[in-house]
Chain A
Amino acid sequence: MAAPADKPKLQPLDEAFQRRLRTLSLASRHTSRIAFGRGQHRSRSLGPGTEFADYREYSAGDDYRHIDWNAYARSERLLVRQHEQETELSVSVLLDCSASMGTGDPPKLDYALQLTAAIAQIALQRSDRLALVAIRDRIVASFGSGPGVARAHGAFEFLRTLEASGPTSLATACRAFCARTRRRGLAVLVSDLYDPAGVPPAIDVLRRARFDVRVIRVVDPAEHEGLAPGEYELIDSETERSRQLSITPEVRAAYRAARDREAFALRRACLERHVPLYAIETNISPEEAVLSRLRQAGMFQ
């Protein structure tokens, strides 16, 4: 496993990828209760909007401007056009920037930044409100943006400043995030989910705060396979704790089995909480991950 890079690299999204991202929007069962601004997400409530929804009989007090005169000409009834109210979505991406994200080849944080950038691009071009929050055992940095793709540059610049270091405490960081965020919406947790306290508490914090939670797990396949047999002095990337270990084929097999068990348990915990979990390996391109894997899994519409 490669040592963490000092500065994660965020590659700019190429034009073709950006064009394809324009066709996507984040799927969420949550939209803002109040139709702020000019969001492009349909709302269950009818109101101002551009998308025709239905007719109803005119009643006193209705705005004359909404009477469909053509319909009156055909049916001699005063019918008022109703439109779906278009709302904006509040998208928060909680990006794990702990030291464990700096491991892997490529470093998981680099890969996570690519995914986050794609999500930010999708959100901003859909006029969603975007919040990028870098977390470790706390919130270490955040970026907030109103709708509009023009703000993507700022989001990317923010992402470029992030680096992997420090310990992980997802629950603590999520608790801090919920405490400072009034607007509920979609919360996307991007992490390798290596948390000594476990991942479910963090999910529960977000759910209790009524966020529509998505979890993207960045997986380094080599990390999942385990180290080749040999003599190692293993150093924990977050705590700097070290230990010597002779990795034999048996130990390696046990490690793989443990990783499988852990992944299964995590998937089960997410299912029980109705939280989608997307495991993305870093050996596939971010484009394929976004356009194919996440889209097919229902992350995007």
Chain B
Amino acid sequence: MSWLAPLSLAQLGALLAAAFGLLAWLHLRTPRPQRTRVAFLDAWDEVAPQRAGRPAKWALTKSWPLLRAIAIVTLIGVALVDPKPSWLASPARTTLLVLDAGAHMRATDEKPSRFERARELASGLLEQQAAGDRVMVAQLDSTVTALSGWSETRERVQLQAAVGAARVSHEATRFEALSRFAREQLRGKPGAEVLLVSDGAFEIAPSELKALRDAGVELRQLKVGQSTDNLAIRAFAVRAYPWGGERCEALVELENTGPRPRDVELALFEEGRPIDVRPFRLEASSRVRKLLEFGATGARFSARISAKAGVADAQPLDDEAYAVLAQAPPRRVLLVTEGQRYLESALALDRRLLVEKQAPGAYRSAQGYDLVIFDRFVPSEPPGVATLWLAPSEAAPGTLAPYRVLGSIDRPFFDEARSDEPLLRSVSLRDVNIRRAQRAQLEPNDEVLARSKLGPLIVKGLRAGVPFIALTFDVRESDLVLRTGWPILVSQLVRELTAAGSAALDVPLQLGRLQSRDVTASGEVSAKLRAPSGKTTDLDVRGQRVQLTPEEPGFYELRSTGSLQLMAANVGSDAPATIEPREWAPAPAPDRPLRRSWHSRGAAWSLLFGALLVLALEVWRSSRGWKR
């Protein structure tokens, strides 16, 4: 019924002016009564007596076609304005109609999706909105996007177009954004209300609801969605083993938001080819992190979770995730030591490291290196790069050592080691014998990764904004270097400090977010981005960076002169996997605004009916004339 959408006064004026102009033109073209001379007018008087007042009636009769046409046009025109007689009118309201466009609205338990269902409901609400109300249409994800200005409900066509322009995003819904927007827009307006068409699958702080109430804004929610079942891949990353080869490991985090345990299969794909399928059982409302090892030579990996047959998954968006195996660039490492065979051997295992060795006396600067390792040495000037300290020498106070040495600890053991620390993963520090360690005085923000009862043994922190890791003991005076975990520990510490670890894990793009990526080639002014669907876009390069907003999950190729950068795009990590529909506010009152459309348009329908009646009478009258 959009064609019957109420018109604005300006539109009505233009319409009536055009209609009346047309009528006047037609009226002028209408044949006048024929002036006819007759031999004997009394003969006509005899059969059609002229009654008193006849001239006036004749004048009326003569003008009847024009009057009739004006009446019809006026009735239809006024009907199009959708007048609201006082006995039908209700107090005007100011309604912010909001479509939830968060990623959870992509759930398919409503057909075709929750978002499309929400769009239908919003469209229906607009049709039933009372005349005189003012409405704004907006969509909500992490922010609020106004899709229309404040419009009278008679401008229904524009409002419907605004609803049609809403697009579901890949972001999480943040109600705080809506709360703030609504308070700004609706404060002090009569009958202020927010009509939220949403599944409510997000969190609302009670303070936000209270803030809305305090601002005099009434929140109503029209709920969509039914199912809570969702199997999701919450995280997926692939990295090569530190020591090279064709071994890779994948980190996969799976979540089951449903109320029942689910048997699922996780399939891994390399360049689109399946390379591994593993079954899992996910408990109800649980999240599981898995590390999978496999051999691979490709760069594009994807994971797909699927439930065993017969169990539905309402949210397909997060069933598949993508990751790129990053090729970490070589890192330059300066080893300042008088000689450390075990350390040099451990460093030599990582083929991505370019290690240069200097004697402490030859050290001048660490400029140009990604990492400097000081073995029992403290420089006189800050190195300015990430540093791995091995038993910094007991320098006097005021030197550049990462901590003050307060004394020594004899025969310490690793009494505590953080089990959740990735730097210590796969390394067993139990029963490591140490002859002596330094008693270190740390700074407040320093982080102790492992310690003895008497003091820290492995410390991590920042100095002058530069990260460091320090072992407070000389590895030569321990059997740690003889343990199998030694090269692993060294590798993990070095990779941490050289950021090679993070570089080895490609950071995927997040759908729907504006993000920046480096372009390696300098002097480029544009780069081509190829989306998973094959669509290619030119991107401007500014400061060797491009900005992009991925809209579809999968692999993107960023191509500039001589370089090709591969990127994976997944659902944002902040988008919750839960799709459980929730009601945060009561539904719109049944009588308001969800009134029956006939009632809300009673006057309009009556006027249209009147116009049709006049037309029908005229047709009947004309048909009688034609028959004879």
* A231-B62, A246-B61, A249-B628 known; A236-B34 Cβ under 8 A: no
Cβ of A251 and Cβ of B37 under 8 Å apart? no
- The answer to the question of B36 belonging to the interface, with a C-beta cut-off of 8 Å to chain A, is yes
Measured in the bound complex, the distance between the Cα atoms of B40 and A241 in whole Å is 10
The reply to whether A100 and B39 form a contact with Cβ atoms under 8 Å apart is: yes
The reply to whether B40 and A194 form a contact with Cβ atoms under 8 Å apart is yes
A13-42 residues with Cβ-Cβ distance < 8 A to B are none
Report yes or no: A103 in contact with B37, Cβ–Cβ below 8 A: yes
Chain A 236-249 near chain B by CB (<8 Å), digits 1 or 0:
11110111111111
Is B28 positioned at the interface, with any CB of A under 8 Å from its CB? no
Tell me if B38 and A236 are in contact (CB < 8 A): yes
Q: Which residues of B contact A101 (CB under 8 A)?
A: 39
The answer to whether B420 has its CB under 8 Å from any CB of chain A is no
In this complex, how many residues of chain A approach chain B with their Cβ under 8 Å: the count is: 42
Q: State A229–B48 Cα separation when bound (angstroms).
A: 13
User: B41 at interface (Cβ–Cβ under 8 A)?
Assistant: yes
The closest CB in chain B to the CB of A231 belongs to B33
Residues of the A chain whose Cβ atoms lie less than 8 Å from the Cβ of B35:
232-233, 235, 242
Nearest-neighbor residue (CB-CB) of A229 within chain B: B625
Structural contact, B39 and A103, CB atoms closer than 8 A? yes
Q: A259 CB to closest chain B CB, in angstroms?
A: 7
Min Cβ gap A160→B in Å is 22
Size of the B side of the interface (Cβ < 8 Å), in residues, is 26
Decide if A232 touches B37 in the complex (CB within 8 Å): no
Task: Please report the C-alpha to C-alpha distance between residue A242 and residue B40 in the assembled complex, in whole angstroms.
Answer: 11
Q: Is A258 at the interface (CB under 8 A from chain B)?
A: yes
Contacts of A232 in B (CB 8 A): 33-36
Query: Of all chain B residues, which has the CB nearest A262?
Result: B43
Binary flags per residue of B45-62, CB closer than 8 Å to A gives 1, else 0: 111101000110010011
Residues on A with beta carbons closer than 8 Å to the beta carbon of B41: 234-236, 239, 241-243
Alpha-carbon distance between A196 and B43 when the two chains are bound, in angstroms: 10
Residues of A within 8 A of B44 (CB): 234, 243, 245, 255
Are B38 and A237 in touch, CB under 8 angstroms? yes
* Neighbouring A residues of B32 by C-beta, 8 Å: 231
- Interface residue ranges of B404-461 to A (CB < 8 Å): none
Q: Is B381 interfacial (CB-CB < 8 Å)? A: no
Q: Give Cα distance in the complex from A180 to B29, angstroms.
A: 57
Q: Which of A233, A241, A262 is within 8 Å of B36, CB to CB?
A: A233
Please report the C-alpha to C-alpha distance between residue A239 and residue B50 in the assembled complex, in whole angstroms: 16
* Contact residues in B for A271 (Cβ distance below 8 Å): none
Instruction: Say if the beta carbon of A230 comes within 8 Å of chain B.
Output: yes
Complex: how many Å from CA A209 to CA B126? 95
Q: Which residue of A has the minimal Cβ distance to B38?
A: A234
- Residue A150 at the B interface, CB < 8 A? no
Residues of A within 8 A of B628 (CB): 229, 248-250
Least Cβ–Cβ distance between B476 and chain A, in angstroms: 124
- Minimum CB–CB distance for A221 against chain B, Å: 13
Contact partners of B48 in chain A: CB under 8 A: 245, 247, 251, 254
User: When A and B form their complex, which 10 residue pairs have the shortest distance between CB atoms, in order from nearest?
Assistant: A249-B628, A236-B41, A100-B39, A194-B40, A231-B33, A254-B47, A244-B58, A103-B39, A255-B47, A233-B35
A-B contact pairs, 15 of them (CB 8 A): A1-B38, A100-B39, A192-B40, A227-B38, A230-B33, A233-B33, A235-B37, A235-B41, A236-B38, A237-B37, A237-B40, A243-B45, A244-B33, A254-B48, A258-B47
- Apart from A227-B38, A234-B38, A254-B48, what are 8 other A-B pairs with CB-CB below 8 Å? A104-B39, A231-B33, A231-B62, A232-B33, A233-B34, A234-B44, A243-B45, A255-B44
